[in-house]
Amino acid sequence: MNSLKAETTDGGEVEAIRPLPWYPDNLAWHSNFSRMQLRKNQTLERFHEFLKLENEIGNITRQEAVSMVPPLFLDVRPDHFVFDMCAAPGSKTFQLLEIIYQSTKSGSLPDGMVMANDLDVQRCNLLIHQTKRMCTANLIVTNNEAQHFPGCRADKNGSKASEMEIEPQISQLLFDRVLCDVPCSGDGTLRKAPDMWRKWNPGMGNGLHSLQIQIAMRGLSLLKVGGRMVYSTCSMNPVEDEAVVAEILRKCGGSVELVDVSSELPQLVRRPGVRKWKVRDKDLWLASHKDVSKFQRYHILPSMFPSGKSYVAPANKDLEHENGENAISEDGIQPTEDASTEDLIEEVSDLPLERCMRIVPHDQNSGAFFIAVLQKLSPLPAIQEKPCKKRNLFKKNPELQGKLLDQVTEDNSGLEPDSRDVAVEKISEAATEADLIVDEPDEADMEPDPSNISNQDSEETKALVNGETDSGKAVGKRKLQLQGKWKGVDPVLFFKDESIINSIKMFYGIDESFPFDGHLISRNSDKNHVKRIYYVSKSVKDVLGLNFRVGQQLKIASIGLKMFERQTSREGTSTPCSFRISSEGLPVILPHITNQILYASSVDFKHLLQYKAIKFADFVDAEFGEKASKLMMGCCVIVMRDSKTMLDPTKVDASTIAIGCWKGRSNLNVMVTAIDCQELLERLSVRMEAEKGSSVQENKINVDDLQLNGASKVEESETTQLVADA
């Protein structure tokens, strides 16, 4: 151990014991030292507080640079349906949403949408919190298993869209782009997470290999022909990277291509993928499946090796110890003849795996990442339609179905096949679909019996879609309806209460150009107690209509943009409209509001943010205070007027600043959170300083022009006088 002296900001020195450079505590020491510097440096501390504030509001997103690379290779466009299979914590989802909104005009919505999924409930909540800052109506957050994500194929013989008052424009859930950022061992994050040194072992990657293949194959089956999927991990283990990509290419044949993107993002420093590697299992290096003992073959699979070929050892080839007994180590592993690394003959893949990308930390001072870009050229091989044939046999022979179900249940620890898929899903694509037969217990337990779908469920589904419940039904059925399709998850229903919708339209003067029909969502089946109304884009509306049509296969955790919220105060119940416009939904609906809207000067707008409540007579602009007093009681919108023209804005753009307020009997109350008020005040002060500086500059230019004009006139008069004298 040797000591390290470092100079602090106040000129003093701190001394610490520095461990060896390779030891992980060295990274932790540097991290702690940087925090100490941050606390003592007031400039850095203010900058850190600024970052936290802007991140909380959603103006910026703090994210490791290397983790932003995979979405860039997706080539996302505003009209694309994008699927983020393992989305939490949500930074890449946020990035994808920004891309589809990039060329969208202010006040309008893009034609595309993003579906973000994560299996873990807590991570799903984190995902919702992260994406909530985007304030988007083009997002659906689901809580399904990625490897068994439902395809939502509508059955032509099932309940008609007219019966449910839904006209979905799509008959199957397919995506233009899929981001497959799978769970991995995470050894590429060692720099920012030094604790990984204590947790990591080779078995972590080996254990995730099969799951990664299943998720990737499911993503390809949900991808449109011609679409692009990016497979990525934050691991450098070939078993999780090139081995998975190679197995995908083998399974899909020529229907999927590994795209060469070496010419894209030329400034990104990357290394090509590897075509040969060994597999590590505990204390052994394995070059091919031939080297795997029979005791290892239940967890060391052929797909982990470059060739992907399996090897079955002859019965008489069992290795024997010198005394004639089989040589088995203490941990149960039977070594092979070629146990030494020098004698192993490495396999080399014949697939173009060099088209993959490896981003290593020491090339450009970043984290490590593996990226592979895949394009779907045609439907996946027909061999994968075998599960469909099995299901057709089940229809013709129910007894055979029962016997096979019993056998599958015994072999798979109680797992049952997805019974609903027999009636509403025609499987046409590959290997991952076969897994759905035996690996979908959660959905199967909750699905209705296909024989009862036609009549009873169509009526119940219609009631759910309309947001109504039949009080004449049995108590048990009503409880199931109120509970929603998925236990513990609020139901997702189209909001169709015409009285409330008409009151909102009339109160705010919303013009007919703003689409309401089928775009409003509630999460409460009791329409008399709806607290929040959400707004969704047309693309999300179509997906939701399809989800109803197929029996709500998607477990939706969050959907759309909170547009209206019920005001439960005493004044709120006495107003013509009890629903106020939420801050999240205001930018979308603002261009379409014609009533309950006022334009304030920058001074009065700033005072509203500072004092939160101002009486009508206390506004600097007396005319504004008089107009405010004449508004109907309830929610209103205050827009900051342009200080240069002092005219009401004719159109809303990205620079428009507006807030929601509550018009009371004698004052205006701001209905914005404290953190949003703080951010708006800072933005307003910056704008006012910029305008002040520009006005000073203009005045200076005008003064200079006057001086120049005056000097030229003096010279002209003197010249005229000289000519006259001559």
Residues annotated catalytic, as ranges: 234
- Residues 64, 91: Cα–Cα separation, whole Å: 9
CB distance 93 to 119 below 8 Å: no
- What amino acid is encoded at 202 in this protein? P
Give the number of other CB atoms < 10 A from CB of residue 586.
17
What's the first-to-final CA gap in the chain, in angstroms?
98
Residue position matching structure tokens 């022909």: 225
Residue position matching structure tokens 């151990």: 1
* For residue 89, cis peptide bond before it (omega within 30 degrees of 0): yes
- What amino acid is encoded at 351 in this protein? L
> Which pair of structure tokens corresponds to residue 649?
């804005």
Cα separation values, 420 from 431, 551, 552, Å = 19, 9, 11
Cite the beta strand spans of 245-348 per DSSP E.
256-258, 271-272, 279-281, 284-286
Residue position matching structure tokens 């049509």: 549
Residue position matching structure tokens 């497979």: 231
Which secondary structure element, helix H or strand E, spans residue 13, and what is its range? strand 13-18
- Residues 62, 703: Cα–Cα separation, whole Å: 46
Among candidates 177, 217, 216, 172, which has minimal Cα distance to 426? 172
- Residues 638, 667: Cα–Cα separation, whole Å: 13
> Which pair of structure tokens corresponds to residue 399?
């007894």
CB distance 457 to 159 below 8 Å: yes
CB distance 578 to 572 below 8 Å: yes
Greatest alpha-carbon pair distance for the chain in Å reads 134
- What amino acid is encoded at 566 in this protein? R
CA torsion through residues 377, 168, 566, 665, sign? positive
DSSP 448: P
Residue position matching structure tokens 């869209």: 161
Cα separation values, 34 from 12, 25, 61, 189, 544, Å = 16, 14, 21, 19, 48
Cα separation values, 572 from 239, 329, 508, 563, 585, Å = 60, 76, 15, 17, 19
Would you list the DSSP string of 520-578?
EEES-S-GGG--EEEE--HHHHHHHHHHHHTT--S-EEEESEEEEEE--SHHHHTSS--
Residues 6+ apart with CB under 8 A from 297: 289
- Residues 240, 188: Cα–Cα separation, whole Å: 12
Residue position matching structure tokens 């809580």: 143
Among candidates 170, 42, 176, 208, which has minimal Cα distance to 112? 176
**CA 710, chain centre distance (Å):** 64
Helix axes 458-465, 475-483, angle to 10 degrees: 50
CB distance 82 to 74 below 8 Å: yes
- Residues 484, 227: Cα–Cα separation, whole Å: 34
